[in-house]
Structure 1
Amino acid sequence: MYDRILVPTDGSTATREAAKHAIDVAGKYGATVHALYVVGTERLERSDATREELEVEGREATEALVDRADDAGVDVVTAIEDGRPSDRILEYVDDEDVDLVVMGTRGRTGVGRVLLGSVAERVVRRADVPVMTVRASGERAVETAEEAVAVARDALEAEGHDDASVTEEPYRAANTWIVRAEGDGDAFNVHVDPSSGDTSVARIRRRD
């Protein structure tokens, strides 16, 4: 049914969730996944990020998807392109004869960042191929320590720390959960937003 599946990615929780679904579908049908990162013109204009920094971010995002797909035995093609994200996604669909687009419904937010939700909406309206939208699991309240641990484990796994373990009970500081973990010889503080489930991972420097 599907031969070429496109996953636009920015490395965020939403696009990681979309990547999981795309890899599952590709594995079922023997399809190739195309991981596309767009260096958005809007983001360049509205933020202090340079093109080189965004290209580095794009390589990290697409390579993370390659690593996940390799584990599942799925082939991946990567691309980093410039332009308006929705336009470039639709052009890529036509150029590469894509059969299915899998997109997260929420991307990175903040000053100068593109809201992937609006990009997904434009792609859904204009695409001539099926578009599967995947809502990020982080778009829910994190009300308990147990939920914070689960979200933190997912964040660490997404960064390649599959064997990380939580070392103490999570606690609330200001408006965030802090989950302490260790893995691969490193220690981490995972900050979890209780209202959205968004995460950030901070490596703790060890003192000799």
Structure 2
Amino acid sequence: MPFNRILVPYDTSKLSIKALEKAIELSTVDKTQIFVLHVINEIPLPIHFSKIESKNNEVIISPLVNKIHNEIKNEMIVIMKDVKNKYTENNVYITTEIKIGDPAEKIIDFTKQNNTDLIVMGSSGHKGISGMFRKLGSVARKVAEEVDCAVLIVR
């Protein structure tokens, strides 16, 4: 079965690089679209730092949280550009995107919105802060349970 639209959740870990390389290997038809998605996890901060306000029907996030997200996003823009340049081949088109939120939810939403045929993802990514939340279940497991397309989990 040929895959035309492949999503690779990418967090710069060795397994996400391996997943991207596997997605490229699986892209057997011309003009395969590979989406490389990085999700910046929401930052758990004490309530006085993570103040969210509503002004004029607009949600305003605290300047500190906004600054941290912007710094991470700016670093990831450079990394994603390098990924795109390194892995783009004649028969594969790579599109990169960065989102902020819960990784599993953002991956699931992206899959549904982009008619993804296949998700290729690592079995686990960076540990860091997100390692504290491992007890809640892995992102790969949550994604595999919720999407309607094929999921390949790379180890």
TM-superposed deviation, 1:68: 2.8
2:8–2:119 contact (8 Å) kept in structure 1: yes
1:105 equivalent in alignment to 2:120: no
1:9–1:61 contact (8 Å) kept in structure 2: no
Higher relative contact order (CA 8 A, sep 6+): 2
1:122 equivalent in alignment to 2:139: no
2:29–2:91 contact (8 Å) kept in structure 1: no
C-alpha separation in 2, matches of 1:12 and 1:129: 24
1:56 equivalent in alignment to 2:74: yes
CA separation of 1:72 and 1:15: change in aligned 2, threshold 3 A: farther
Large movers: runs of 4+ above 4 Å:
114-117
CA separation of 1:57 and 1:113: change in aligned 2, threshold 3 A: farther
From 78, 89, 94, give the equivalent of 2:96. 78
Q: TM-score, normalised by structure 1?
A: 0.57
Q: TM-score, normalised by structure 2?
A: 0.74
TM-superposed deviation, 1:76: 0.7
Count of residue correspondences: 131
Identity between Structure 1 and Structure 2 (%): 28
C-alpha separation in 2, matches of 1:57 and 1:104: 21
SS of 2:115's equivalent in the other structure is coil
1:45 equivalent in alignment to 2:44: yes
TM-superposed deviation, 1:20: 0.3
TM-superposed deviation, 1:24: 1.1
1:23–1:72 contact (8 Å) kept in structure 2: no
Residue 131 of structure 1 is matched in structure 2 by 151
C-alpha separation in 2, matches of 1:94 and 1:57: 27
Residue 96 of structure 1 is matched in structure 2 by 114
Residue 87 of structure 2 is matched in structure 1 by 69
1:135-146 to structure 2, matched below 5 A, reads: 135=155
Read off the aligned partner of 2:81 and give its amino acid letter. E
